[in-house]
A and B are shown apart, each in its own frame.
Chain A
């Protein structure tokens, strides 16, 4: 484990927030490249190689390219380079935080950050439950979607989007009903209006 992996989520998120604001004030493209290099150094420290970095950049590549061309044509190439370098730096820095922090730790941090909002009616435990449920059901629903698609291809219905989405939604709504009943049956004791109807 690298020092970046060992670092608790709080300081990493604070650094990211600081960079998000601070980099707006950097107006020299070469200074921005220094920050980009610093971020890449962070990837190196965390033990991630070039392939890992490329995997982070690839999904945003076309967007950055379009932005560079539009911006360059409208406002000049120096500014275009500056803006693209800033976005790239911030996005890579954010990916670095995500890659070096476990999802459970981020959920715990999220619950802690939400605690001050409790008087406003935000229940951190409920948010935690919703996050865990969504994580649990994501693969199930993705699989279900694939199955509906296959079943309809087999029946020769083609891929009409409505024929795909409607059965999926009805199944999700039915599943929600069953899951809610299961949670309430299992929770047994009444934990107040929060988890009972």
Chain B
């Protein structure tokens, strides 16, 4: 594993700050479903798709650390150690593996990246992995059954699919204009 360069640290720090800044965007409410979509949960997908697995996961780890330090950087002005006692803590901690998986898939498929593939990668990392961790933690923290926790989380999935599509568009544009990720072989993954 190569050492983390100054450039890597800056990219990690700036993406953590960007994810925090996404909390300031006003939420959009989807018609029909009525669940507010916040821009912030795009952070892990974007970090993975733009920075790659390791730096993306570290950027999200930094966001988690900043929240623990008490900064009110989560959407709705939440922050502080209190969040870690809350029922949705799994979705926050899940940002780290979500960014990692999104990034790893992008690295593996980097040379043949298409919008559709990037969308699938962001969905696998930012939705499948995230909910895979967030839903069971919600069930435990809130004393709900797994099914009830899953049903309660499901209305957010359409919004997350929109975010995965936006992430794919961003990933392709960044790949063309300012590539950060380097392709990785299956063998070294």
A residues with CB within 8 A of B: 13, 16, 20, 56, 59-60, 63, 67, 70-71, 74-75, 79, 83, 87, 90-95, 97-99, 101, 103, 106-107, 110, 121, 123, 126-127, 129-131, 133-135, 137-138, 140-142, 144-146, 161-162, 164-166, 168-170, 172-177, 179-180, 183-184, 187, 193-197
Contact = CB atoms under 8 A, between A and B. Distances in A.
B189 interface: no
Interface residues of B, number: 62
A161 B144 contact: no
B86 A63 contact: yes
A3 B51 CA distance: 44
Contact of B20 (A74, A134, A146, A166): A134
A79 B95 CA distance: 30
Contacts of A131: 13, 62, 65-66, 69
B16 A130 contact: yes
B9 A197 contact: no
A180 B4 CA distance: 12
Contacts of A173: 11, 14, 50, 174, 178, 180
B87 interface: yes
A103 B69 contact: yes
Interface of B: 1, 3-7, 9-18, 20-21, 24-25, 28, 39, 42, 46, 50, 58, 62, 65-66, 68-71, 73, 76-88, 141-145, 148, 152, 166, 169-170, 173-174, 177-178, 180
Contact of A103 (B15, B58, B70, B180): B70
A74 B24 contact: no
Nearest to B75: A59
Say what secondary structure dominates the interface of chain A. helix
A22 to B, nearest CB: 12
Given A20-B85, A130-B9, A145-B25, A165 B42 contact: yes
Contact of A130 (B12, B21, B76, B85): B12
Contact of B17 (A97, A141, A164): A141
Contact of B7 (A67, A135, A145, A176): A176
Contact of A196 (B5, B88, B178): B5
A174 to B, nearest CB: 7
